[in-house]
Structure 1
Amino acid sequence: MSKKISILLIALLSFGKIVAQDSALDKMAMEICEYFNKNEKEFKDMSTSDLTAKLGVQMVQTYLKYKDELAKEGINYDLTKGRAEGEKMGAKVGVSMIKFCPDILMAIAGDEVYEDENEVVESYLEGTLKKVSGQDLYVVEIKDTDGKTQKFVWLTNFEGSDRLINLGNDVTGTKVGVSYTNLEYFSPKLKEYIVRKKITRLEFL
């Protein structure tokens, strides 16, 4: 569970009791809460990361169960698009779960509520590859869904890099989803710190 979700939990809880509504989202949230309540003893000694993984699995399973009802309420998620879409769903379901089992959510959040402000945050966007250029350092250019060209530095091995290498010069127009982190480093030329987007994973859509 991300830091943003953990902070959101605390903020919403401060407003007191939230009145539940009989919506598909609430049914989904209630079912997940019931699952954790019934298996409380099993989860008692689990780490935060293991509990988060369990929560993710339950969210996906219940989403698929109520997918048609959720669609009627205008709630749709394409879980084949990767982590970003799953995080959107998790944030929405998490807010609804606060109505039924806030204690469970806070237990799952664990120490992440108190994470350092300098934590590394991974972001995600989709678009089409334009080109890969550079000599000692490769820069991957992607045209995002808004038509803006985004540049990413290729510094380390990442999931999807082998396929990108195999594409060679035939990258233009390939649809991808890219996960990245912001990397700050000192530029001797500019004599100041600058931020670049570092690729951590590349999905071919």
Structure 2
Amino acid sequence: MKNLIFVTFFFFSIAAFSQDYLDKIAIQTCDCFSSMSSISDSLSSDQRNLKFGLCMIDAAEPYKKQLKKEYNIDLDQMDGPTGERLGRLVGVKVAGKCPDVILNLQQETVQKSKPANMAATNTFTGVITRIETNGFVTFNIKDEMGKTTTFYWLEFIQCEKDLPAIYTSLTGKLVSVSYKTKEYFEPKLNEYRQYFCLTSLQIIGN
């Protein structure tokens, strides 16, 4: 009976020690990654994951013998499967100890969170001075400072009027437009050019 109690206590002690050092690895990983919070927001998702992985390996280094013996994780042979096993093992602990770190890892940078074809929308107000229909319909619009900008009709334009029916009569009209800046390849110049592509057009006044 005493031997059974001893063996049971022995295995519980091993399990407790195992949990203890895994907790330590998780906490140190959290501290390491959080110390880089000032720059992590500017990093891509892949870069943040790399930083997290390096923090985790550094934190696990003092316990490499235990990890090798108990989980067959060899820190000296950090190939793909080994890294994945360590990540799963410590990641569960990290999620419990510092969930904010997991949220940070799942974030995307502003550039990456937007699809490549999603551009910021801008507005412009002025008088249409010329309309051209060479290939694409373009509107030359002059603002109150006298600056003339060319806008392209390359996609559907929101408008209260039937724009396809009336656009040729808009010369001299005061309008407010929304547009996106997009890049298209110009074969004649053998380079990409920026185009102001209209998304909406509002006629001001009569």
Bigger Cα Rg: 2
TM-score of the two chains, using structure 1 as the length reference? 0.41
Higher relative contact order, structure no. (Cα contacts within 8 Å, ≥ 6 residues apart): 1
